[in-house]
A and B are shown apart, each in its own frame.
Chain A
Amino acid sequence: MSTAKERLDAIYEAYSQAYDRRSADMAAATSDAQANKIQANLNRLEAHYLDASTEALDANGQAVEDAYDDAVAAQEKVDRAYEQAKGLAEKIRLVGSVVGKIGDLIDKANG
């Protein structure tokens, strides 16, 4: 079973990675729409992290574990996309998926 610390770490990791990659992603953006999505994803991940920092994240149950596993798996897909130098549109799409999974994890972990 995942702990509150592991859940917060996963939430922070998603934000932290997106933050570290923003500068290069912005440099690679070819349109305002792409740039807006990059920044919007990062803002939402930061909001999730700030929200989670004042929450207990201590609910138990299979739904919480599934949400945690989904969030971790989604982040791994993002990391692989960057390792494999996939296109920016694909990276943005995958980060957007992490945003949703992290939001779900917070909801479930708060019971």
Chain B
Amino acid sequence: MRIYRFPIRAGCSLGAAALVLSGCASVPRGPALSLANAGISTTGAFGSEIRSTAQKVQYVDVTEAFVATYARCSNPNLSCTSQLPPGLNLKLRQDLSRAILLRAKALDALGKAYAALKREAEYDARGDLVGATNDAIGGVNNFATAIAAIGGAAPAAALIGEPLKQITGFGVGLLADHNQRKRLVAGSHAIAQATKRLRDALEVEAFVFDSLADYLVKTRSAARQSLLDAGLVSSGDALQPFTANLELKPVGTVDAVVGKSPAAKQAIFAMLEAQSRADVIAVRNRYHASLAALDALLEAHDALESGQSVSLADVDRFLGELDAALDSKKE
């Protein structure tokens, strides 16, 4: 579980709950720092998830070459030739992967803006909040224009087609706490606008990622089955998560046993299929948990800007779900 730690300053009160922070009457450095940390975590986790999807899309070329060639060459009536994906499919996969990566880059830019907000919120550590926030706005705008250039119009393009305006400053020129409060609130507001725009775009096209999850899991699952069927990998490895869950261990001669038993082989294929379905649901859940974390983050922005208590418990909960899904994937 993440705990967002922040320095306690004179004039700021700390609520009873660990993650409920009071909006300070003067400079809300503590809440802003915690909000910034939550923003860094959320954009980082979501960006990693999306980047991983983009990489897997490109790798389909490799799995598909193996699966298609194995399917053809398993039939002795056919000539056995390498089945490489056509150039068009290769290009379309690269386009899709690049389009997906743009979302990750927009999230990276947002993460940098939150990092600048964090530096600003740290005592006497003023960062380039204007520059980083403009980078975030630029990242979201670039996402929209590049998507339109690649694919004509992604589902999200219409939603974020109107570019966000760059900012010019946050009340530079005044001195002391009043000025820093102004900068923090204005910075939070500008970053929240970019976050909201990107979050809405990512929600609109969530259904694209739903089918994409199935596409990726399906092609990887087919490759696993082909490898097992060809006897190129051990059935014991495929069975390991299953038997470990049952607190058992495959016999040393597992491959010989499976080789002689069509029933055992079919049961392993069924198990892999069921695992694939669970993987698809897990991928979809991670995407939706990431969206929910952005929602919770936006609520925290609102609270900070209106001087109310800032709660990051929901952000933490959704990031926890994301971590749990990633942990279960590693197991």
Contacts and interface: CB of A to CB of B under 8 A. Distances in A.
A12 interface: yes
A35 interface: yes
B18 interface: no
Given A31-B77, A54-B96, A54-B147, A8 B153 contact: no
B72 A56 contact: no
Given A26-B74, A50-B92, A110 B215 contact: no
B74 A54 contact: no
Interface stretch (A16-24, A62-70, A76-84, A94-102): A16-24
B211 A9 contact: yes
Interface stretch (B32-40, B80-88, B108-116): B80-88
The dominant DSSP class at the B interface is helix
B307 to A, nearest CB: 40
Nearest to A9: B211
- Chain B's interface size range is 35 or more
Interface string A46-79: 1101110111111000000000000000000000
- Chain A's interface size range is 20 to 34
Contacts of A85: none
B78 interface: yes
B11 interface: no
B77 A53 contact: no
Given A16-B214, A54-B150, A110-B152, 16 more contacts: A4-B207, A12-B215, A15-B215, A19-B222, A22-B68, A39-B72, A46-B89, A49-B211, A50-B92, A51-B92, A53-B96, A53-B212, A54-B152, A55-B152, A55-B154, A56-B155
Interface of A: 4-5, 8-9, 12, 15-16, 19-20, 22-23, 26-27, 29-32, 35, 39, 43, 46-47, 49-51, 53-58, 110
